[in-house]
Structure 1
Amino acid sequence: MQQLIKNYAAKLSHALTMDAMQQVPALGAALREAWDQGRSIFLCGNGGSAGNAIHLANDLLYGVGVNSTRGGMRIEALSANAAVLTCLANDLGYDRIYSEQLRVKAQAGDILIVLSGSGNSANVVQAIETGNSLGMQTFAIVAFSGGRCKEIATHAIHFPLDDMQIAEDLQLVIGHVCMQWLCANPVGEQKQ
């Protein structure tokens, strides 16, 4: 177990030095602008990434607004409502569980953040396609080859590594880095 811990820590540390981390400030800036302008932010993913979407929605809805007179962000994890997910999966197909929600809820200028290991799951690919067609800013935080999401997102944060657990850890690390930066730079204050 100790060797596994060492190896895991080394892989995660190495991932944090990858070029993908240079893309994180663009995500932070887009989130801050959306917060300032009252635009909506949507997150989605599958499995652990769906759980991460819910976690980060909580952090950005409440956590960033604790020290701001304006409160937190307008944000929603599209993976959070089991009734909506099962209805859409049953009636339209699992590949449309996120795109249909965006079609109804999103507007031009809103932000979509897709969390995915492979970047190839049909539902997140369709979410980005729908987001792009609506004029949203689309971000994909992906690993492995980056898949289709890397190709079609307006902003891809791609970690070329083949480890799903490290990929999911990185999703949270990026979200938490953005959260801490937003807490330190709330809307209405001077940017740093």
Structure 2
Amino acid sequence: MNYFRTYLDQHHRTLESIPTDRVAQLADILKKCWSEDRQLFAFGNGGSGTNASHFITDLGKSASDKQAGQNGLRRFRCFSLSDNVSWITALGNDYAYEDVFFGQLQNYGRPGDVVLTMSVSGNSPNVVKAVEWANENGLITIALVGGKRGRLAEIAQESIVIEDTHYGRVEDAHMAICHMLCYCFIE
């Protein structure tokens, strides 16, 4: 019983540490991406990949429904690079696993598009390589990382660090940020 109370107390502290001013800055980037009809790409590994898929679903469906319905305007153009299993396995098999996101961005990414990635460690080689490529090719890069920061915190143009190293709590905080970003357009 004490384990669960302690876990929730730590979880609460992690969520309270989310810098809402930085989330508001990311919302401005997404608003500009939407208003300029740019593409938004999200990706990550494992739980972060699932968070990317969830984020894109909420943004592409619910936030788009609200924005297009209110203004008769365009929908969010957004895509999760974590979802195409056949492409991921082809790139990983024929080249290297570190190419699975970068390889997709080579086909889709254009200057001015936005990349949002999540990584608790901040050091996943495939995520780092994709952000490096995006930076070199004029995309706007955003990273949500954990307390270890890693390389992503250094190279992403915008980053939010969750000051915790527990994978579950950091992933939950990243999803909370994604929900805030979506719901600021929905509500």
Question: What is residue 42 of structure 1 aligned with on the other side?
Answer: 41
Residue type of the alignment partner of 2:130: A
DSSP 3-state at the match of 2:67? coil
Question: What is residue 143 of structure 2 aligned with on the other side?
Answer: 140
Pairing 1:95–2:98 present: yes
* Equivalent residues, number: 183
Pairing 1:111–2:114 present: yes
Structure 2 CA distance for aligned equivalents of residues 68 and 151 of structure 1: 33
Any idea what the Cα deviations from partners look like across 1:134-154, whole Å, max 9, x if unmatched? 111101100031100000000
Structure 1 CA distance for aligned equivalents of residues 167 and 154 of structure 2: 20
DSSP 3-state at the match of 1:66? helix
Question: What is residue 22 of structure 1 aligned with on the other side?
Answer: 21
Deviation at 1:182, TM superposition (A): 1.3
Unaligned runs of 5+ in 1: 185-192
Question: What is residue 188 of structure 1 aligned with on the other side?
Answer: none
Mapping of residues 1-192 of structure 1, within 5 Å: 2-18=1-17, 20-69=19-68, 70=73, 72-184=75-187
CA contact (8 A) 2:40 2:79 kept: yes
DSSP 3-state at the match of 1:42? strand
Any idea what the Cα deviations from partners look like across 1:112-165, whole Å, max 9, x if unmatched? 011101010100000110110111110110003110000000011011211000
Structure 1 CA distance for aligned equivalents of residues 105 and 115 of structure 2: 9
Structure 2 CA distance for aligned equivalents of residues 37 and 104 of structure 1: 20
Residue type of the alignment partner of 1:47: G
Structure 1 CA distance for aligned equivalents of residues 81 and 18 of structure 2: 28
DSSP 3-state at the match of 2:52? helix
Residue type of the alignment partner of 2:49: A
DSSP 3-state at the match of 1:119? coil
CA contact (8 A) 1:115 1:141 kept: yes
Deviation at 1:71, TM superposition (A): 5.2
Cα 1:19–1:49 shift into 2, 3 Å: closer
Residue type of the alignment partner of 1:130: W
Any idea what the Cα deviations from partners look like across 1:6-44, whole Å, max 9, x if unmatched? 222222221223264431111111111111111000011
CA contact (8 A) 2:131 2:155 kept: yes
CA contact (8 A) 1:62 1:71 kept: no
CA contact (8 A) 2:145 2:162 kept: yes
DSSP 3-state at the match of 1:79? coil
CA contact (8 A) 1:42 1:75 kept: yes
Structure 2 CA distance for aligned equivalents of residues 180 and 27 of structure 1: 13
CA contact (8 A) 2:18 2:173 kept: no
